[in-house]
Amino acid sequence: MPQSLADLDFNLLKTLHVLLSEQQVTRAAQTLGRSQPAVSNALHRLREALDDDLLVRGAGGFTLTPRAEALKAPLREVMAIVETSVLKTTDFDPRSATDVLRISAPDRLTLAVVPSLAARLQRFAPKMSLDVTTADRSQALAMLNDERIDLLLGWSEDLPSHLKGELLYREPLLCVMRRGHPLAKARRRLSIDAVLSFPHVVVSATGGRTQIFDDLLATLGLRRRALVTVSNFTAIPRLLQDGDMVGVFTKLAARALVSSFGLEMRAIPAELGTVATHMVWQLRNDRNSAHVWLREQVRAVYRRLSRGA
């Protein structure tokens, strides 16, 4: 008798299933796409493992032993379960799916990316819905680890091995201000001294008074004056429209503010670098059809936005 399941691997069980069905080594070999000697060797191993002849010669050819007859139906059910539950993938149809897609993104991406992503859902997946959470890096990673979200947009530095990341876009920083602002009169790239000569409004989800731009300034030994700090972009249009404050935001967020609220934007020195946005997900969902579809929708949105459409 086998001492454990290790004595009967899946290939042996599959061979046994076919042998019991065909009741003949040659036909079993043809069905399995294997050589007759290989199937004969497998039958020998099965006989030793189960301590039963399984397939024996009878008056009209080969016949099954009582033990083999008893195994035939249960083994057929096991093979059916493996085929339907393990080997067969579940098709995902976005038009009939009713899933809630859960994403975490910093507020700059909520402003720039979410409207386009929502429009794609309405077009291609009318019964699905989108749940977007604004969170900083540590909060977002915790939610992804706990599977409270399906996808993280933002950062991917030093990811643990169970997460997978993909670069979506690198965008420059732009200075945003009201129409008629002194900086709006500049027709070329602003100097860093010009950008820092006015008070700033800062968006910081963590409640601090700094953001990416401040980190980039620090590398040059520079600082700006943060007159107002807010946790999201809701008040930004009004704050910029009513005075001489300026804001420095990533390109997509700046463009959304300009197109929606009649503001102006100007490029700032290129040496300040760019801001990278990554897409991060659980490695275990790498081939999940619904997750694969969601990630492709995000890529499609970024392809469109990066072309300036």
Confidence of residue 3 (pLDDT cuts 50, 70, 90): very low
**pLDDT value at residue 55:** 84
For residue 249, give the nearest of 183, 177, 168 by alpha carbon: 177
The average confidence (pLDDT) of the chain is 88
pTM: 0.69
Instruction: Of 251, 249, 252, 210, give the one whose Cα is nearest residue 229.
Output: 210
pLDDT in tens, 224-279: 999 999 988 999 999 999 899 999 999 999 999 999 999 999 999 888 889 999 99
Over residues 137-150, the mean pLDDT reads 89
pLDDT score, position 249 = 95
Q: Which residues pair with 202 in a beta bridge?
A: 229
Q: What is the pLDDT of residue 278?
A: 95
Stretch 102-129: mean pLDDT, rounded? 93
Which H or E run includes 299?
A: helix 289-306
Cα separation, 16 vs 26, whole angstroms: 13
Q: Where does residue 210 rank: exposed (0-12), middle (13-18), buried (19+ CB within 10 A)?
A: middle
Report pLDDT digits (tens) over 51-86: 888 888 877 678 888 888 888 888 887 877 776 666
pLDDT band at 1 (very low <50, low <70, confident <90, very high): very low
Look at residue 156 and tell me whether its pLDDT is greater than 70.
Answer: yes
CA end-to-end distance (rounded Å), the chain: 69
Contact in structure between 187 and 264 (CB atoms under 8 Å): no
Q: What is the pLDDT of residue 273?
A: 86
Residue 198 sits at the vertex; the CA angle it makes with 197 and 199, to the nearest 5 degrees, is 130
Six token digits for residue 173:
């920083």
Q: Return all residues near 277 (Cβ < 8 A) that are at least 6 apart.
A: 109, 153, 154, 167, 168, 169, 170, 171, 302
**How many CA atoms does the CB half-sphere of 185 hold within 13 Å?**
4
Contact 250, 107 (CB under 8 A): no
Report whether pLDDT(174) > 50: yes
Confidence of residue 103 (pLDDT cuts 50, 70, 90): very high
pLDDT at residue 144 is higher than 50: yes
Q: Where are the beta strands (DSSP E) in 13-150?
A: 55-58, 61-64, 100-104, 129-133
pLDDT at 143 over 70: yes
Structure tokens at 112: 């720039």
Residue 279: closest CA among 171, 99, 130, 159:
159
- As a whole number of angstroms, the distance between CA 20 and CA 69 comes to 8
The whole-angstrom separation of Cα 13 and Cα 46 is: 9
> What pLDDT score was predicted for residue 188?
76
